[in-house]
Amino acid sequence: MTRPDLNTMQSKITERLSRLRGRLRSQLVIEGLARLLLLAFALAAVSFLADRKFELGRTTRVVFMLLAFVCVAYVAVRYIVLPAFADWNIFDVAGALDVRGMDSVKNAVSPKVATVFDLHEKSPDYSQSLSAEAARRSFDALERIDFEERLNREHKTRSVAGVLAGVGLPLLALAVIPFALTNVWFSRWFTMSDTPWPRNTTISVVGLDDNHIIVPKGEPRLLEFTITDKRDRDIDRLRIELQLADGKTERLTIVRDAGGRFVHEISGLRRDAQLRLWAGDGKLGPVDIIPIDRPRLIEIRLSHKHPWDESLQIHDFDRGDGSISLLPRTDAELTLKANVPIEKLDCDWSTATPPEIQRIDDVTFSAKWKHDTDLQAKIRLVGKSAGLESQNRSVSIGLKKDRPPSITMRPDGVKRRVTPTAVVPLKMVARDDFGVAYMRLTSKIERVPVVTADTPPPPIIADSSEEVALPDESENAGAQTEEVADPESLPKGEEYDLYGPIQPATERLLDEQYEYSLEPLSLAPGDLIRMMTEAQDDCFVGAQSSESPWVAFDIVKPEELFREILVQQQQLRARLRKATDSATDLRDKLTTSQFPQAGSELSRDNKVLQREVSTIHRGLEDTVREMALNKLGGEEAIDLIQQNVLNKLGNLTSNAMEAQKSELAALSKQDGGGSQDEAIDRQGKIVDEMKRILKNMAQWDSFVDVVNQLDAVIKLQNDLKDDTERIQEKDVEAVFDD
C-alpha cells in the first residue's frame, strides 16, 4: 500500500477542517439568530405588557426603545456578525475541537495537525526522515478521529428551536392578541403617538380637541367629564391629577353631582397645565390645558366732526368717558381694536340701516357714517384661536337735539303796583345747549281810555285769569307774571337789545340786569305795562327763540303807593316793638337765672330774637328800596330812615346781638366760661338801642305825615290853579264863539 506524501496529507487535513469550520460557523450564526429573535420578542412583550398596564408616557417609550435598540444591536454584532465574518484558520478549528471533545492528551487534534504541517521547532539534531514518520503517524491518528462527532448536536437543536420559537411566538401573539391592541401598540411605539389603549372604561372630557383643552386665561372654567364602561359597571368615582406650571400638583377625587355628571371647576389659569384622569380601568392623559386670552375690546374710539367743530373730536369709551350724544349731520367713525386676532365680529345695531363695519387688520375694525339717529350696538368678538367668544359690549351713541334756549325774567325791588316815574330793575337769565346769540327786551303798554267831561271813565280791572300769581312780599317778589294770549294785539312800547347778536354763539349762560325807566313812556295812573324777554340761539339748522312769561305792572298814583308802603313800615314797627318787649324779658331772665342750667333756654330765646330783628331789618330795607325805585318821599326822607333806622338795626344784629349769642353759648357750657354780668349789661344796651330805633321810626312817621300834608296842600293849590286856568280858557272861548 502506497503511503500518501506530506502534501497530500496536508491537503486532506485542510479540507476536513475547512468543512468543519463552515458547519461550526453556520451553527453559531443560527444560535445568534435565535438569541436575537427571542430578545426582540421579549422586549416587545415587555413593552406591550408594561404599556398596556401603565400606559407609558412618550418619554419613557423613547428611552425604552433606545435601550432595546442597543441590546438588539449588541446581540446581533456579538452573536451573528462576528461569528459570520470571523477569520478562523484550520488550527483555530483544531483548537476548538480539542476544547469541546478531547478526553485525553493522546486524542488531541491540534498537536497532530501541527505535526502534519511540521510546525514544531527544529532541534539541532533534527532528522528529516523521523519528521516524516511522525507526520504520517499523526495523519493516521487524525484519520481515525471523526471531527463532526465532536460538535454539540444538542446545541444545534436548541439553536434551531430558538429560531423557530423566535419566529413562531410573535406569529402566535399576533394570532391571539386582537388586531386593535397590536395596532395601538405599533402606533404608540413606532410612530410615538398618544393613542390610548382600548379599555373597558372610557373617560372623555367635554371640549377636548387633539388632546388639549383651551380655557380663557385667568377665568374659572367648569370641566365636565363623561365615563362609559363596556361591562355596564357603575363608576361613581373619578380621580383627578392637575399638574401646574410651577411644579405643584393637585390631586382629588370627585363623585357625581345631583344631575349625575362628573364636573370640576378649575381656578383661573395663566400658564399651561396638565390633567390626568383615572376611573375603573380607564385612564386619560396627560391632557394639556392651554389658557389663552379671551377676546375683548381694548379700544373703542369715536372720532366725530360737526360743521360747527373746528377740529376732529375724539371720544374714548374704553377710558371711562361715558356715553355720548352727537348732533345731527355729524360725520362719525367708530374704531374697534381687540387684544387678540379676531375671526369674526358680530354687531347687533338698533337701526334698520346700520353702518358697515370694515376690517382693517386682524385686530382692528372701523365703521363710518353720518349721524342722524340714536345708535345702540352690542358687539361680540370671536377669536381665531379656539373660537373663544368675548363678552357682549354695548356702545350707545345718542342723538343730541339742539333745544331752544330757556329764559326767565323777574323784577327786583318792586311789586306789581308802580308809579309812572318808577325805575323797574329786571333780572334775566338765558340758557342754551350751545350758546345764546341774541337777547331782547320788549314792552307792551295798555293805556287807560281817555275820560271826557260827559263820560265817566270805566274802571280798569286786570284780568286775574291771565296772570300768574306773584311771590309773597316776604320773598321780595317783583311783579306778577302772566301768559298773554295775543301780546301782539297790545300797543307797542319799546324794544331793547340786551345782548348780541353774536356769531358764533359761545355763551351758554347769560345773566343780564337791566333797569327799565318808566318816566319816558309818559304813563298815567290806570295804565298797564307788560314786559317780556326773548332769547335766540345759533342753531345750524335754523335759529330757535324762546320767550319768557310776560310780567305786568299796574301804574298807580304815587300817593296811593306811598300809603301802602307806609302801612307796611308801620306793621314792621309793631313787630319791632314786640321784639323789644321780648328783649326786655330776656334781660330780666338773665338777671335771675342760674348758669349753666338756664343757658340753653336763654341762648335759644336770644337766637329767636336775633332772627326776628334781622327779618324786620330786611323788610324795612325792601320798603325803602321800593320807595327809592318808585321815587317816593324824596332823597332826604330816604336818607333819614337809612341813617336813623336801617343802619342802626344792621349794626345791632351784626354786632351786639351776635356778641350776645356767643356770650350765652359760653355761659351754657359746664366749664363756666363767659360772664353773666357782661351778658346782662350787653342785653340792657340792646334793649336801649331798640327803643331808640323805635323812637326814630316814630319820628319818621311824623316827618312823613308832615311831608304828605305839604304835598296835599301843594297838590290842592296846583289843582285849584289848573281849574282856574281851565275856567278862564273856557270863558275866553265862549266870548269868541258868541
Between 237 and 109, where is the model more confident?
237
Q: Give the containing element (helix H, strand E) for 384.
A: none
Mean pLDDT over residues 84-95, rounded? Answer: 71
In three-state secondary structure terms, 561 is helix
Specify burial of residue 330 (Cβ count, 10 A radius: 0-12, 13-18, 19+): buried
Residue 115 to residue 119: CA distance in whole angstroms: 6
Mean pLDDT is highest, among 85-94, 326-335, 494-503, 628-637, for: 326-335
Percent of the chain as helix, strand, coil, to the nearest 5: 45, 25, 30
Least confident of 21-30, 142-151, 166-175, 267-276: 142-151
Mean pLDDT over residues 279-284, rounded? Answer: 84
**C-alpha distance from residue 4 to each of 1, 7, 132 (Å):** 10, 8, 11
Residue 103, pLDDT > 60, answer: no
Between 724 and 706, where is the model more confident?
724
What is the separation, in whole angstroms, between the first and last Cα of the chain? 221
pLDDT at 706: 56
Mean pLDDT over residues 167-183, rounded? Answer: 88
The residue type found at 514 is Y
Residue 13 to residue 144: CA distance in whole angstroms: 12
Residue 62, pLDDT > 80, answer: yes
Residue 635 to residue 569: CA distance in whole angstroms: 17
Polymer length in residues for the chain = 738
Predicted confidence band of residue 146 (pLDDT cuts 50, 70, 90): low
Mean pLDDT over residues 89-100, rounded? Answer: 65
193-214: pLDDT as tens digits: 878 778 788 888 988 888 888 8
pLDDT at 484: 40
Specify burial of residue 663 (Cβ count, 10 A radius: 0-12, 13-18, 19+): buried
Q: Which of 455, 649, 471 is nearest to 569 (CA)?
A: 649
Residue 467, pLDDT > 80, answer: no
560's grid cell = 296811593
As a whole number of Å, the CA-based R_g of the chain is: 63
Between 195 and 302, where is the model more confident?
302
Residue 33, pLDDT > 50, answer: yes
Contacts for 96 with CB less than 8 Å, ≥ 6 apart = 24
pLDDT at 715: 67
Residue 67, pLDDT > 90, answer: yes
Residue 191, pLDDT > 50, answer: yes
695-718: pLDDT as tens digits: 888 877 665 655 555 566 666 666
608-663: pLDDT as tens digits: 988 999 999 999 999 999 988 998 877 877 888 888 888 988 898 888 888 888 88
- Grid cell 456578525 — which residue? 81
In three-state secondary structure terms, 469 is coil
321-341: pLDDT as tens digits: 567 888 888 899 999 999 899
Calculate the average pLDDT of the chain: 80
pLDDT at 8: 74
119-142: pLDDT as tens digits: 544 555 556 666 666 666 667 666
Predicted confidence band of residue 463 (pLDDT cuts 50, 70, 90): very low
Cβ–Cβ < 8 Å for 478, 622: no
pLDDT at 282: 83
Cβ–Cβ < 8 Å for 460, 447: no
Specify burial of residue 529 (Cβ count, 10 A radius: 0-12, 13-18, 19+): buried
Cβ–Cβ < 8 Å for 629, 423: yes
pLDDT at 470: 35
* Beta bridge partners of residue 547, listed in sequence order: 534
Mean pLDDT over residues 348-375, rounded? Answer: 89
